[in-house]
Structure 1
Amino acid sequence: MANRSAGQNAARVAAGVRIGLGWKLGVPIGLVALALACLIILPVMVVATTASQNEQGTTACSVGGANLAGAPSSIGGYSGVQLENASAIVDAGNSLGVPSYGVNIAVMTAMGESGLRVLDRGDAVGPDSRGLFQQRDNGQWGSYEDRMDPTISATNFYKALLKVPGWQQMDPSEAAHAVQINADANYYTKFWTTAQQVVSALTGGSGGGCQDASNISVSGNGQEVAASIMAATKQGKIQWLTPAYRDQVQAIADPNNWDGDTFTGDCAIDTRVLQVIVVATQTFPKIGISDLNRRCTGSTPGAGVYSLHWQGKAVDFYSFDGIATTGRDDNAMKLIPKLDQISNPGAAIGQLGCTGGSPDLKTMHQLLDSCNHLHYQLGPGNEPLSVTK
């Protein structure tokens, strides 16, 4: 790989101000009386232990492939054979069942290494580097022909990426660096936004990669999932609009606040909501959270004490990838289909009526809400989410 000077980190603007929330009862009007009665007793938070995540085992996706014929002739300054190569990278990831985040990382890496061209040359540091990913002749990346083949070289990149522990929780450039072992871990950051644009345009806005629930995996019980969220917070991957909500998760992450599988603290959050947060961190390198358990903060906007936030069964996101969300912007539309596939019956997503995409939902229903965040709430039952393979 080339030895490069330090790249500039892409500027990230995280902004989100809560203005007001619509009603989020998640039940038909005819059942309001029943809902009020049920809300008198706070629910017991059930902790379900999920299977361990298998970073290396993947299954081909049924959706998310590239459609070069339906894409613009030029995307982000890339065109012609460059977009053909990007399509090959997307389809290679799709055939392996790589999540959307990994597909975008692969395209970003190839942009940084070769400008999305199959180069038959290296540089002073790596004179034997070849192909889209500038893979070395060291036995790790196959033959010369393999390294010069867009599909095979991309496949080998993905296989190496999937072996990196915790790659889905890394920043994009950090994950690419773990595979490429280049000089500057931040080098690829400047290609990230354009890579997302290219992948989105080539895949009709799906973001590439697997959106299937079978490829979404969250491991651990409630305490362990909360601990992973706090680890991501420490790494700067999760921002909290209100520190009190961060502190709620921190309390759940503390093993001293557990008696076996029962959380003994005051501000419980349903483990399934924590799992949704982890899924969001697997979808974006950075997320912003603005709302969790309101009972412990005394916050009563919108539906007040009847909101599922009051029960710890809802979460609001105010930004994805450092960009404020309207709940129907491109970033939100990457996450919503995943949540629909993993959700329990009766779950709901907010921001109905906000400008942007219109999700085709199979499980969740939609709620009217203000267009400065993305609201998610669980369904009324205790069914587990489909977050394990």
Structure 2
Amino acid sequence: MGGVSAQAACQRPPVLPSTSPDDGTWTTAQRQHATTIVTIGSQRGVPPRGWVIAVATAMQESGLRNLANSAVPRSLTLPHDGLGHDHDSVGVFQQRVSPPDGQGNWGSLEELMDPPTATDKFYTALLKVADWQKMRLTDAAQAVQKSGTPEAYQKWERPAEQLVAAIAGFGSISEIGGGAPQAPCGTAAIPPATVGPDGWVQPVHAFVGDRFGAPRPNGRRHAGVDLIAARNLPIRAAAAGVVTKVNCQSSTGTCDSDGNSKASGCGWYTEVTHALNVTYQGQTITSAVTRSCHMVTQPSVHIGQIVAAGDVLGFVGSSGGSSGPHLHWEVHLNPGSSVDSSNATDPEPWMVFVRSPLGQ
């Protein structure tokens, strides 16, 4: 199988308008801390993507506030915007204070309660992370912060992009290159996938987040797995088959911009039907349908198109009911005319069975 044109990856969802620094979303103090973060990043020559990561981290850690901590009594004597309560963490980035005031190793209390110095320390740590510019925002932030909730930063990507763009005086983060990593564009080819011995391939090469059967609102269960991948990575047909559905499903009314965790629906998605003749868990399987959700733009394929294992169906996004870029991926065995949760199977053991296990 030859390479697939990456031109489709150059398509971007319509740019959402930036949040104005004066629209009331953030207080004057919060905007000032964000401005400090952007300014220090610019002075140090950190690419704009780093500014977004830093601002999103501060949004999650402190709500863009310079927090003192009652567990670090001397912090109460220094200028602060409020109180935090996490161990001996202080400041905009909630960095842990070094002895004698704390048991951390980020620096002295005075340094960490000074937003410019705390920001400088964050960037120093970020720049030591290999390939940080290629990572999802939450992975880059987590590599610096070592948080107990590593996925928490991702939800701040869009607000951070909007605020950073506004502070920098641009209408959109794309104008300064601070957005999420993109798939290759233009005439370059996406390399072909390595297909396994049974004719299957990972839809994306990424670690597994939420697993099959995880609880969902209203007593529902997760009908697939979430593969946590960067925006615009190619999503591949897991096996040879025919495209039987290409659709937009979102309670937001559009799939051409990011959804959110309160929305519902698969966003832009595809279904591919695969003809089989195997015995799995004591059952003869004659067909399977794989569903790929939350694509960044309209899928690259059309209904009736025959695809080979590894062909590109679309690109990772966050459309529909989604809190951040990922691929929600389902496998349905012998579904007949109705592809629904009643015939969904756990994709992980299935992909082990066909010798193309999921995960990194």
Where on the TM-score scale, by shorter chain, does this alignment land: which range? Answer: 0.3 to 0.5
TM-score normalised to structure 1 length: 0.39
TM-score normalised to structure 2 length: 0.42
Asked which structure has the greater RCO (Cα within 8 Å, sep 6+), the reply is 1
Q: Which has the higher helix share?
A: 1
Bigger radius of gyration = 2
